[in-house]
Amino acid sequence: MTPVLDRIRVGSAPDSWGVWFADDPQQVPWQRFLDEVAEAGYSWIELGPYGYLPTDPARLTEEVNRRNLKVSAGTVFAGLHRGPSVWEATWEHVSQVASLTQAMGARHLVVIPSFWRDDKTAEILEPPELTAEQWGHLARGMERLGRQVKETYGLDIVVHPHADTHIDTEANVERFLDSTDSGLVNLCLDTGHYAYCGGDSVKLIETYGERIGYLHLKQVDPDILAEVVANELPFGPAVQRGVMCEPPGGVPALEPVLQAAQNLGVDLFAIVEQDMYPCDPDKPLPIAVRTRKFLRSCGA
């Protein structure tokens, strides 16, 4: 018998349509994304890169309402491990996105740490490991961001562990959680990125359940991942090789992840993201339809 996952709200995001940038000729137009995400059977979306979807709240509201869609979150990047000197520039960027996110009725802001390796060129931008001082800057900076975003925009920040960032492996994710206040900072657990970096999503949910504020559903092709690890490939080229694959063909298995999340007894968004950049414009919709059908078979 299929379990009923009545605390899980499923959605999708521009990422699943091959969208990584606000403006890029290799990406589908935003109108097509909205049309197709609705056609695939999703009712929740994320904003994606700021500037991809219209940034005028009235226009965006009209566009999503017309397709019976709702916004679950916005996304920002932040390099707060670099210390207080980056705060003003960070807050300027965050304010833009948070303002639109709030205007769309969403409650979450997904915060992705800045990359230490460029996802397009593979250039090493800074050391892959943080110093103790940088860990301190990261923890205090994220708490400050969480406090200010909550006070100014009424949003909860959820920090997204991500390949080629400093919050990636199980050890680094646990260190980050252990050094931050749960009242200010929680986690967007991306099942694909966590598996890519060697982590166990079910274990993390069961161990740090009170810190899981949001989910991204994603799977990794284990054979391609083995090649990526062996050759130390950057994330961008790994995606082009298809390391993030269509469910249920990869790892982790999503059924136990969803059940573990349901067992927390709180309402959680579970947003499908299958990293594909660049991709053929006709590729995403059939995958999205099949993925939505698969998630329904899991009870979501």
| Cβ-based neighbour number of residue 54 at 10 Å | 18
Question: DSSP letters of 159-216?
Answer: E---TTBSS-SHHHHHHHHHTS-TTT-EEEEEHHHHHHTT--HHHHHHHSGGGEEEEE
What phi and psi, each to the nearest 5 degrees, are found at residue 76? -135, 160
Question: How far, in Å, CA of 214 to CA of 157, rounded?
Answer: 10
Residue 262 is classified by DSSP as: H
- What pLDDT score was predicted for residue 3? 80
Question: How far, in Å, CA of 202 to CA of 15, rounded?
Answer: 23
Angle between helices 87-103 and 132-153 (to 10 degrees): 40
Span between the terminal Cα atoms of the chain, in Å = 13
- What pLDDT score was predicted for residue 118? 86
Vertex 231 angle, CA 225 and 235, to 5°: 55
- What pLDDT score was predicted for residue 152? 98
pLDDT in single tens digits along all 300 residues of the chain: 778 899 999 999 999 999 999 999 999 999 999 999 999 999 999 999 999 999 999 999 999 999 999 999 999 999 999 999 999 999 999 999 999 999 999 999 999 999 999 877 778 999 999 999 999 999 999 999 999 999 999 999 999 999 999 999 999 999 999 999 999 999 999 999 999 999 999 999 999 999 999 999 999 999 999 999 999 899 999 999 999 999 999 999 999 999 999 999 999 999 999 999 999 999 999 999 999 999 999 999
H-helix or E-strand containing 224? helix 222-231
What's the pTM? 0.97
